[in-house]
Chains A and B, each alone.
Chain A
Amino acid sequence: MRGERADRLYRAGVGLLAGAVPVALGAIAVFVLVDALPALRYMGLGFWTGTQWNLGNQYGGTTASQNGVVAAAGATFGILPYILGTLLTSAVALAVALPLGVGAALFLSEYAPPRLRLWLSSLVELLAGVPSVVYGLWGLAVVVPAVAGGIGPWLSAALGFIPFLRGPVGTGLGLLSAGLVLAVMVLPLIAATARDAMQQTPRALREGAVALGLTRWEAIAGVVLPTARPAIFGAAILALGRALGETMAVLMVSGGSINLLPTNLYGPVNTLAAVIASQLDAAFTDATHMALHALAGIALTLFVISLVVNGTARLIVRREGAA
């Protein structure tokens, strides 16, 4: 009898702890939403479609009221440039990381000898553990100069007939650098997930293909890649989710533009995550607190995007490794 009661108590205890995850998610949603409401009411839909981010007159003590909410005179909070910057940096990252990651996965799964495979796999997984500020540091020290002095001018010269790829390249701080650093950050995720999926191709299918007289590559293209395709697709979305939400590395190499829509691949951009991190100090100066509410609005937007993207990805890829 005593054992049973202890059993029930134990069960209730761990059951309560299991509530922590849904509670954390719910609390993030509710508190960020509530904190964002004044800014959303002040700006309406213009919050997402506006292109100007302006704290308004901070010195005159004048305030303006709009939709029943008070903000500094002239204040306007439009985050469209940051939404676009977020999508663009992530798109560049995926465009670079997806082919490279799938290539690395192919090499690990199909070409590397078993001993080498283990070593290389561990190295790739270590890449996932590097702190994002260190990626940012590397981005500043290596990627940005490379973009400014090599990759950028070269791309601009070779593919300059496409307007978006035409220079000026500028300092290197901008969209391409941010995209490249993000690509390196999501590479291990794509490579590891794709490799696992490729290795799950049934041996019978591989042998069936080889027995038809196909070359190794034909067997891979015909049987291995189709088998791994859903997982690769899921990994790409998962990588997208990570790239969309990355803060520090992007913050350090994106050039941190404000109120500027990107006009080419090299110019400065800003992303939702980076704006939150970089604008809080300034937002504190807003006596009406509206700037803080607007930052909460950005956090809310980012939260919703990440929920949609990750929620979708997780429906496709169940249980990838803890990395």
Chain B
Amino acid sequence: MSAADWEATAYLRRRHGQVLAEASRRSRAARQVRGRVFGALAALGMAASLFPLLDIVELVAVHGARALSAAVFTQVTNGVSGGLQNAILGTVFLVALGLAVAAPIGVGAGVYVAEWSDARTAAALNYLTDVLVGVPSIVVGYFGFIVFVGDFGWGFSWLAGSLALAVIMLPYIVRATELALSKVPLDLREGSLALGVTRARTVHAVSLPFALPGILTGVLLAMGIGIGETAPLLYTASWSNYNPSLALTHSPVGYLTYVVWTFIQEPFSTAHSLAYAAALLLMAGVLAINLVARQWLGRRGEHAA
């Protein structure tokens, strides 16, 4: 920096000081208005995002509560009337078996990605996991139809439906496990390894217990997603008016989401009632699971991390 530079610019600076102060004064009101307008737009975006949730909850709660009766739980569907016992049990059956398949595989895969694979393999597996999350569920459903129903010859069945659901739920569990394990403090892990404890034992005795809240959160969220799915089940579990049996194959299974979809399009009020009742049960189940996962386990998980 030269003194000449300084001198050369001194006059300009004084002039620009006035120009800028003047411009700033003149534009002040417009700037404040602009700030308010965009602030209001942000608030509007917030309101527009919340309104549907509140409206959906209200719609389903009001119509659903009116439709709920003991019969909903004690009777099976009969044409477009009756109860939902078959659908409730079917949803439970399908999700339970789906989780029984997806949870161990997902947790194991997550453990491998977090604990053993090198950085490049981990990145590749994570990427594929994210991509699998993005595969449309109807595509998974059609895949299940081709392979489980057709090629394997199981027909519309509990097993076919559950395996399709498992494919949907799997990536969420892998990701949650991997994420939870990656938050285990290094010194905790190294402390165990330094004692000469093997890697497998360290994972079991140190890392997994530490990561458990996070993993359970992931499993719960996957469960919520499974309960709410329809498309993967349409042509794997199909639909049944009867309670599910323990037969794994060749016996279609009913589920709640199917009732919402088909019965609301029927021109009968009994059908509409059942659709709203099913929607209420689904919402209650999914929201309860989400709340538990996010609030209780989520907080514990964060706390531990």
Contact = CB atoms under 8 A, between A and B. Distances in A.
A179 B280 CA distance: 24
A103 interface: yes
A18 B143 contact: no
Contacts of B131: 25, 307, 310-311, 314
A17 B139 contact: no
Contacts, number: 292
Interface class of chain A by DSSP: helix
Interface in A1-31: 3-4, 6-7, 10-11, 13-22, 24-25, 27-28, 31
A246 B136 contact: yes
Nearest to B202: A7
Interface string B93-114: 0000000000011101101110
Nearest to B127: A314
B237 interface: no
Nearest to B278: A133
B274 interface: no
Contacts of B172: 322
B203 to A, nearest CB: 8
A314 B127 CA distance: 7
B109 A18 contact: yes
Interface in B102-132: 104-106, 108-109, 111-113, 115-117, 125-132
Interface in B30-88: 31-32, 34-35, 38-39, 41-46, 48-50, 52-53, 55-56, 59-60
A306 B139 contact: yes
A103 B45 CA distance: 5
Contact of B261 (A17, A106, A248, A323): A248
A134 B281 CA distance: 11
Contact of B228 (A24, A129, A241): A129
A216 interface: yes
A123 B50 contact: yes
B136 A129 contact: no
Interface stretch (B9-17, B183-191, B244-252, B286-294): B286-294
A188 B49 contact: yes
A252 B56 contact: no
Interface in A26-43: 27-28, 31-32, 35
Chain A contact residues (Cβ within 8 angstroms of B): what range? 35 or more
Contact of A131 (B49, B115, B286): B286
B108 A107 contact: no
Contact of B143 (A31, A138, A220): A31
B275 interface: yes
B273 interface: no
A218 B261 CA distance: 47
Contact of B136 (A112, A130, A306, A322): A306
B39 A35 contact: no
Given A17-B105, A106-B45, A107-B43, A137 B264 contact: yes
A220 B141 CA distance: 44
Interface residues of B, number: 98
B288 to A, nearest CB: 10
Interface stretch (A57-65, A67-75, A261-269, A296-304): A296-304
Given A28-B143, A130-B228, A134-B282, A217 B34 contact: yes
Nearest to A181: B52
A52 interface: no
Contacts of B104: 17
A299 B142 CA distance: 7
Given A131-B228, A307-B131, A247 B283 contact: no
Given A129-B224, A310-B130, A280 B56 contact: no
B282 A247 contact: no
Interface in A112-136: 112, 120, 122-127, 129-136
B216 interface: no
A138 B260 contact: no
A247 B116 CA distance: 37
A111 interface: yes
Interface in B254-305: 257, 260-261, 264-265, 275-276, 279, 282-283, 286-287, 289-291, 294-295
A217 B176 contact: no
A134 B38 contact: no
A221 interface: yes
**10 shortest interchain CB distances as A-B pairs:** A103-B45, A245-B136, A131-B228, A310-B134, A17-B108, A217-B35, A10-B200, A18-B112, A107-B46, A14-B112
Interface of B: 24, 31-32, 34-35, 38-39, 41-46, 48-50, 52-53, 55-56, 59-60, 104-106, 108-109, 111-113, 115-117, 125-143, 145-147, 151, 167, 170-172, 174-176, 179, 198-201, 203, 217-218, 221, 224-225, 227-231, 234-235, 257, 260-261, 264-265, 275-276, 279, 282-283, 286-287, 289-291, 294-295
